[in-house]
Chain A
């Protein structure tokens, strides 16, 4: 990272922390975002010249607050009620002394506000794609262009999505608070799903050319770490962080020198990040201790990931345990993608005939390239080369990204007809 990038990173991360508190004090997401944006611009102009202040966060907090109150005063001086019509409650500039504007909140207040922001961004009244965009914009501090690139949509589309989400929060009055205990499990599940989606989208993009989008995977880990700091000891939060770290640990081995994807079976395990795997194992052990014997969906997925991360080789993986874990996961929700992974594990444990039977028993996967590729693998092992090639051809046709198409085409070329 160059010094300029380091500086921009500091401004982004600290700005996101400042934003959470400003939203609460101003009561307006839009106004707070604009103020933090203005403060960030000011920081990037003055810090390289005058040096980074001793407490960058305090500098950004105070500057953003002054920018916000300047904006409020300008609005108040304007004739008419354009502001209220623009979709917010009528905002009034409070008459505050400069000393009040210059006070910095204690750390505990900042943390509470960040947790509020998490739950507001992930409120079920917002569409899932809006939740994800809002979380990356406000909690991770990414700009609209970066989020749009991350999800391969035009910047204008992403900007509109964010505007609509902010309007819904303001007009429908989505509250800025941590939900009460009775609603917490359901609401937390929504937060976890958003963080998980950011991570899975980053290493298995559903469209486009790139295999690894390093930024989004790192952002998901960062958000999971933040959530784990804000809600310490919450088993499913610990489990999600463990799951993301297990997956991120394989990143160096997940693509080859040409940038093409390498399947788990062919990955060079010596390239896996052992420090990340050790940290993930520790987090998972704590999740198990705290969950009182009832494993949630993320704990089960973390156990699955742990099985792979600690296996000496692909063949030496504990497939029996993996099949058992998928059975438990299927009991929580009948998801065809989980059933597919289970069938792949059955192929490894019981052989290709049993695996093929398990694959053919899954309905609703005819449009999935992964299902056809898994069938092709089982058929190849059964010596049914012709049918295996047919299945692979369908997989190539359905593969959503260029690198996946390339991988499957190469496999097809290697499987010469007899």
Chain B
């Protein structure tokens, strides 16, 4: 099995905290409960702070207001999915409501010791 981060993107300015959307995520969460190792919904990008360290470890810490990329679509949350392979992960990602409200990006999770499962 492998762990995938399903990163949820929505067009900027959209509201992902309405009762309807929350209910859709609840339905998905119940259906996929065996596959989900963690999930997070994020506050709007106005609350985001981006940190950059220049010059390697111990270098200057640059703190800027806002999300990393000023893109049309923003990261609004994520699920950690455990799946046998990419095809299984895709089939679950396609059931996340954000897949139709916005986009879901799947990224394999590097095993670094803090395994959620």
Contact = CB atoms under 8 A, between A and B. Distances in A.
Interface of A: 123, 125, 171-175, 179, 183
B85 A174 contact: yes
14 contacts: A125-B86, A171-B108, A172-B4, A172-B86, A172-B108, A173-B84, A173-B86, A174-B85, A174-B86, A174-B87, A175-B84, A175-B85, A175-B86, A183-B87
Interface string B21-42: 0000000000000000000000
A86 to B, nearest CB: 13
Interface of B: 2, 4, 84-87, 90, 106, 108
Contacts of A173: 2, 84-86, 108
Contacts of B4: 172
A258 B71 CA distance: 52
A175 B106 CA distance: 15
Closest 6 CB pairs of A and B: A175-B85, A173-B85, A172-B108, A172-B86, A173-B2, A174-B86
Given A123-B86, A172-B108, A173-B2, 11 more contacts: A125-B90, A172-B86, A172-B106, A173-B84, A173-B108, A174-B85, A174-B86, A175-B85, A175-B87, A179-B87, A183-B87
Contacts of A175: 84-87
Contacts of A183: 87
A173 B1 CA distance: 9
B6 to A, nearest CB: 13
A172 B107 CA distance: 7
A84 B106 CA distance: 21
Contacts of A172: 4, 86, 106, 108
Nearest to B91: A183
Q: Which of A125, A172, A179 has the most CB of B within 10 A?
A: A172
Contacts of B90: 125
A117 to B, nearest CB: 16
A174 B90 CA distance: 10
